[in-house]
């Protein structure tokens, strides 16, 4: 067990101990209120019953989380009984109140808690030194696949190693766990030893390997066999190296993405803290807001992917708070998951209609909570990226990259740091489309996009400006350094082999660079870079020119 996992486990144990101590200390108040209910007259019993109902509602939602499921179930039954009395607005008779008091007294005999197992880590972000370069192992009996991928993927900076024997594969894996294993699917049955090794590589907690399978033909049986091996991709011979590179980049992008952010809004301090620890253990980032009135501040500062919202809170209910959130256009796409011990299906539906997306009934196991929140956050992030990213390349769309450039210009003006804007355009791209078809043209565009993402920094802004044109913004970068970087990328791109119609060809691009003038608009700075690009085209293409 890792040090972090040990630390979270210890914090959860301390939280459970505090919960039990608080529960014991507060029990005298519960008994006192229940006794007051027994003695209350017609004018005062409703307020006492309402206060008790809220107490049991809170207890029903939290007891199971802290290892007291039977106590939670009994508290829920008492909450519902009090709710029935209040709904009919009729004072219960003496016998009913005495029976109620006896059941409350029985609750004091709750058993000690049972520890839940910590959920598994669902997302392991890469460290700061992680790059978009992958270590790729190719297992092929004849070695041809390894040779092909070595020449095709090396220009992207990937390390490709090919082995032809199972023992050599084991040795290579022991030396260093690969990011990707490319398996040339055997014509016969996959050996058990190979299956076992693949399974071990995929389950490595620190560095799981992704499996890609290459087969002779596309069929349901071959695809099913790949799925049963745990493959994340299936490719047909002769392999399309550009498609494989695109899939690798998506894999590395996923590992580089920021942690999912979850905002927890719950007035129950201990329960909210428990949820926070469980969500953090699963690899996400969590922030707690106990006061609903401070929720909007939490939204602005935290920018959550998901909001976990308690339904029943004093002063402001969860559905009311959800509707306040939806007043702002920028929060319309953020999923809201309600948390409540409410079991009435109609009330759950009513809450969902009021700006919610999902409903979780308390108590919920730690693993179920982590998986539910992770799945929602992942989907929300994907949808958000679809709105701002180009579907072919995964780069920022035209409008978005221009907005980002404007932001960078504003930052450069405040910090007085250099900023370079660049326009790139593929050379003779119409000839590629005309001669080899638009599908091959798309592969060329995707390859350049992948190369840009791999070679540039996380802080650099990269967008598909339109067609075969790309717009870059390189903050805190001199014009000379930007020139060197773009020339390096240009040379790497020229070395990438493309194939179509049994022919092999290469492509080039031209680039125009301009040091940003912060007194000018983004459009004016783009125009300066575009003029430099025109100069590069005029001077022979496959070159970088400056404004």
- Which secondary structure element, helix H or strand E, spans residue 107, and what is its range? helix 94-107
Question: Which strand (E) or helix (H) includes residue 474?
Answer: strand 469-475
Place of tokens 């040779």: 147
For 37-52, b/e burial (b = at least 16 CB within 10 A) is beebeeeebeebbeeb
547 and 422 Cβ atoms separated by less than 8 Å: no
Q: Could you give the 3-state DSSP secondary structure of residue 286?
A: strand
Copy the structure tokens of residue 505.
């060809």
Estimate to the nearest angstrom the gap between the alpha carbon of 224 and the chain centroid. 27
Among the options 408, 468, 469, 545, which is catalytic? 468
- DSSP H or E run through 143: none
Q: Is 468 noted as a catalytic residue in this protein?
A: yes
Cα 396 to chain centroid, rounded: 18
Structure tokens at 121: 């880590």
User: For residue 511, what are its two tokens?
Assistant: 């680039």
Walk across the sheet containing 509-515 and list its strands. Answer: 461-466, 469-475, 419-426, 509-515, 544-546
Residue keyed to tokens 């870059």: 472
What are the two backbone dihedrals, phi and then psi, of residue 313, each rounded to the nearest 5 degrees? -135, 145
Tell me, what DSSP letter sits at residue 154? Answer: G
**Residue 94: burial class (beta carbons within 10 Å; 0-12, 13-18, 19+):** exposed
Q: Is 60 exposed, middle or buried (0-12, 13-18, 19+ CB in 10 A)?
A: buried
Active site residues: 468
């Amino acid at each position: 067990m890792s040090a972090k996992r040990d630390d979270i486990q210890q914090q959860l144990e301390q939280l459970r101990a505090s919960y039990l101590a608080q529960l014991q200390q507060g029990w005298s108040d519960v008994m006192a209120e229940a006794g007051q209910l027994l003695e209350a007259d017609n004018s005062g019993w409703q307020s006492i019953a309402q206060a008790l109902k809220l107490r049991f509602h809170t207890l029903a939602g939290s007891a199971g989380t802290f290892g007291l499921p039977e106590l939670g179930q009994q508290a829920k039954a008492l909450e519902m009984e009090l709710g029935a009395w209040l709904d009919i607005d009729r004072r219960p008779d003496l016998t009913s109140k005495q029976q109620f008091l006896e059941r409350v007294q029985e609750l004091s005999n709750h058993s000690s808690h049972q520890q839940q197992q910590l959920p598994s880590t669902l997302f392991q972000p890469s460290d700061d030194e992680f790059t978009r370069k992958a270590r790729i192992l190719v297992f092929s009996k004849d070695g041809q696949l390894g040779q092909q991928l070595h020449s095709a993927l090396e220009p992207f900076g990937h390390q490709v190693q090919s082995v032809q024997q199972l023992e050599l594969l084991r040795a290579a894996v022991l030396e260093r766990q690969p990011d990707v294993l490319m398996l040339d699917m055997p014509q016969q049955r996959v050996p058990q030893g190979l299956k076992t090794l693949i399974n071990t590589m995929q389950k490595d907690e620190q560095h799981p390997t992704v499996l890609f399978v290459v087969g002779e033909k596309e069929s349901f049986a071959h695809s099913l066999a790949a799925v049963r091996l745990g493959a994340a991709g299936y490719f047909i011979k002769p392999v399309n190296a550009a498609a494989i590179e695109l899939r690798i980049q998506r894999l590395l992008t996923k590992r580089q993405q920021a942690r999912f952010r979850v905002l927890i809004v719950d007035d129950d301090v201990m329960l909210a803290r428990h949820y926070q620890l469980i969500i953090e253990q699963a690899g996400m980032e969590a922030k707690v807001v106990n006061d609903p009135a401070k929720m909007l501040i939490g939204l602005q500062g935290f920018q959550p992917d998901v909001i976990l919202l308690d339904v029943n809170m004093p002063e402001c209910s969860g559905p009311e708070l959800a509707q306040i959130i939806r007043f702002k256009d920028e929060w319309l796409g953020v999923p809201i998951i309600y948390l409540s011990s409410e079991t009435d299906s109609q009330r759950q539906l009513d809450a969902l209609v009021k700006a919610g997306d999902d409903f979780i009934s308390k108590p919920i196991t730690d693993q179920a909570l982590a998986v539910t929140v992770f799945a929602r956050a992942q989907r929300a992030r994907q949808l958000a990226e679809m709105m701002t990213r180009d579907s072919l390349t995964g780069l920022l769309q035209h409008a978005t990259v221009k907005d980002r450039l404007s932001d960078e210009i504003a930052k450069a003006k405040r910090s007085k740091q250099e900023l370079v804007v660049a326009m790139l355009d593929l050379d003779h791209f119409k000839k590629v489309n005309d001669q080899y078809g638009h599908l091959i043209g798309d592969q060329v565009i995707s390859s350049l996009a992948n190369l840009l993402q791999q070679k540039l920094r996380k802080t650099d802004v990269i967008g598909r400006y339109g067609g075969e044109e790309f717009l870059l913004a390189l903050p805190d970068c001199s014009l000379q350094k930007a020139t060197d970087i773009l020339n390096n990328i240009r040379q790497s791109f020229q070395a990438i082999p493309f194939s179509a119609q049994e022919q092999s060809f290469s492509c080039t691009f031209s680039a125009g660079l301009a040091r940003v003038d912060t007194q000018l608009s983004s459009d004016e700075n783009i125009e300066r870079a575009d003029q430099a690009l025109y100069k590069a085209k005029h001077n022979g293409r496959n070159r970088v020119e400056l404004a």
